Amino acid sequence: MDPEPGLADRRIPLLELMGVFFRVGITSFGGSTAAWLYRELVERRKWMDDDHFVTALTLAQVLPGANPVNLSIYVGSQLRGGIGGLAAVVGMVGPPFVVLLFLGFLYRQYGNSAVAHAVLAGLAAVGVGMSLSIGVKLARKIRRPVPILVGMALFTTVGVMHLSMIPVVLILAPFSVGYEWYAARNSEPE
Amino acid sequence: MNRLLGIFLVFAPLSLMSFGGGQAIIADMQHQVVDVQHWMTGPQFADIFALSRAAPGPSTLIAALIGWQVAGFVGAVVGTLAIYVPSSLVVYAAVRWWHATKESPLRTALERGLMPVAVGLVFAGALAVLQAAHVNALQIFTTVVATGLLISTRIGVYTIMAVSALAFGILQII
């Protein structure tokens, strides 16, 4: 694929790509995959900018499939085409697959271990903190009133009121995109 | 062989129905695995669901544990492929289409417009994990402290994870 603004302009080696997803796969407790990927891909390695990552994140959440897997395919194939998507997914799913089968084995042999459960709960609590801290960092970049309202409306309806995510996104996302479209047209042409 | 085919036929359709993420299909999955296929009991399902939530990575990896229960290691591999490959093909097609549109005012508007949607979903997702039934006050406290440290200090997340895991383990023992 051609290089594109906002994406790394060098060709990222497949092993390096896989290694990053491998590390994220093994550390992303408590549903914090997106936060870990943001830290690794945007903040530390600068393989993509905020806009690319956030678009990937939204589509990964709306399309069918597990969000971490979708995000891996999206990011991997943006950086290195189809083979990159495959490398990213294998890196992302491989380590948790092994960890989970190992936990399943322990569970079958010894039943529930209270200490193991407590340790995993402690890791999950930090994982949620990781998600929240990235959410705050991204939220700070939203400074205009309409986007702020869109973000708050989404959190309130899906997070607090437990409305189904898909219909809410199907209403709010076109509204928000349409607003940006008109805002860009009515400001100065670049 | 029939067992492997059975695993595939249960998980592949669920893969394509999991709009919005894995949590959307857990109830259907339980119905299929417990009531229709009789691969395990309800309490067994609840136990391995808790395991898959506690482990790192996507919670839909529960398909690997179910496959393992039904047909051993090969079953785990087939379950994992069946739950991820169909949806992944859809996502890959979407990425290809997205890349083909190149830079345009529409794309810029999409990227800007989706930003607040994504941020709202990140907070909603974190809240959903915090509201799960088994979460206690200590976990919420830990989450709040970890969030504060990650935002306003340069303390590494690995350090915070190690301290938290250790503290939770010790508190459980004493």
pLDDT greater than 60 at residue B151 = yes
How much is the pTM? 0.84
Given a cut of 90, is residue A107 above it in pLDDT?
A: no
Q: What are the residues whose beta carbons fall under 8 Å from the beta carbon of A34, sequence distance 6 or more? A: A57, A60, A67, A68, A71, A131, A134, B122
Residue in A149, A14, A99 with CA at minimum distance from that of residue B58? A99
Q: Copy the structure tokens of residue A39.
A: 């830290």
Residue B29, C-beta contacts closer than 8 angstroms, at least 6 positions apart = B10, B11, B14, B62, B63, B66
Put simply, the answer to whether A66 touches B117 (Cβ < 8 Å) is no
Mean pLDDT of A99-120: 84
List chain B residues with CB under 8 Å of A64.
15-19, 86-87, 90-91
Residue A11 half-sphere exposure toward CB, CA atoms < 13 A:
6
A26, A100, A172 ranked by CB distance to B51: nearest: A100
Is the confidence at residue B67, as pLDDT, over 90?
A: yes
Which residues in A lie closer than 8 A to residue B108 (C-beta atoms)?
180, 184
Q: Under a CB-based contact definition with an 8 Å cutoff, are residues A149 and B119 in contact? A: no
Q: A24, A180, A182: which to substitute to probe chain B, counting the most B Cβ within 10 Å? A: A180
Cβ pair A126:B146 closer than 8 A = yes
Question: What residues in A contact B53, CB-CB < 8 Å?
Answer: 124
pLDDT-derived band of residue B56, with 50, 70 and 90 as boundaries? confident
Task: Report CA B85 to chain centroid distance, whole Å.
Answer: 15
Given this model, what pLDDT does residue B64 score? Answer: 95
Cβ neighbours of A98 (radius 10 Å):
15
Would you state the pLDDT for residue A180? Answer: 92
Locate A120 and state its tokens.
């995993």
Counting residues of chain A whose pLDDT is more than 90, the rounded percentage is 47
- Asked if B113 is an interface residue toward chain A (Cβ–Cβ < 8 A), one would say yes
Q: What is the DSSP letter of A29?
A: G
At B109, the pLDDT band (50, 70, 90 cuts) reads confident
Residues with Cβ within 8 Å of B162's Cβ and at least 6 positions away in sequence, in order, are none
pLDDT at position A37, please? 94
Q: What ranges do the domains of chain A cover?
A: 1-141, 143-190
Q: What is the mean predicted confidence (pLDDT) over B35-56? A: 86
C-beta atoms of B57 and A33 within 8 A: yes
What is the average pLDDT value for chain A, to the nearest integer? 88
Average pLDDT over residues B47-56: 82
Say if residues A33 and A71 touch (Cβ distance below 8 Å). yes
pLDDT band at A59 (very low <50, low <70, confident <90, very high): confident
The pLDDT assigned to B145 comes to 95
If you measure CA to CA, which chain A residue comes closest to B125? A159
3-state helix vs strand vs coil in chain B, percent to 5: 85, 0, 15
Quote the pLDDT of residue A1: 46
Take residue A84 and report the two structure tokens written for it. Answer: 């990159």
CA dihedral A75, A76, A78, A81 (to 10 degrees): -160
The stretch A100-123 carries a mean pLDDT of 84
d(CA B119, CA B43): 35
pLDDT of residue A9 exceeding 90: no
Question: Could you tell me if B159 lies within 8 Å of chain A, comparing CB atoms?
Answer: no
Taking each continuous run of H as one helix and of E as one strand, the counts in chain B are 7, 0
Is the pLDDT at A190 greater than 60? The verdict is: no
The tokens for B24 are 């959307």
- Tell me what pLDDT residue B89 has: 95
- Would you state the pLDDT for residue B1? 64
Least confident of A93-107, A131-145, B44-58: B44-58
Residue B132 is classified by DSSP as S
pLDDT of B155 over the 90 cut: no
Strand ranges (E), chain B? none
User: Do A70 and B88 touch, CB atoms closer than 8 A?
Assistant: yes
With contact defined as beta carbons under 8 Å apart, do B77 and A17 qualify?
no
Q: What angle do CA B71, B77, B82 make, to 5 degrees?
A: 100
Q: Are B128 and B23 in contact (CB under 8 A)?
A: yes
Place of tokens 């229709």: B36
- pLDDT above 50 for B55: yes
CB A126 within 8 A of CB A31: no
Residue type, A111: G
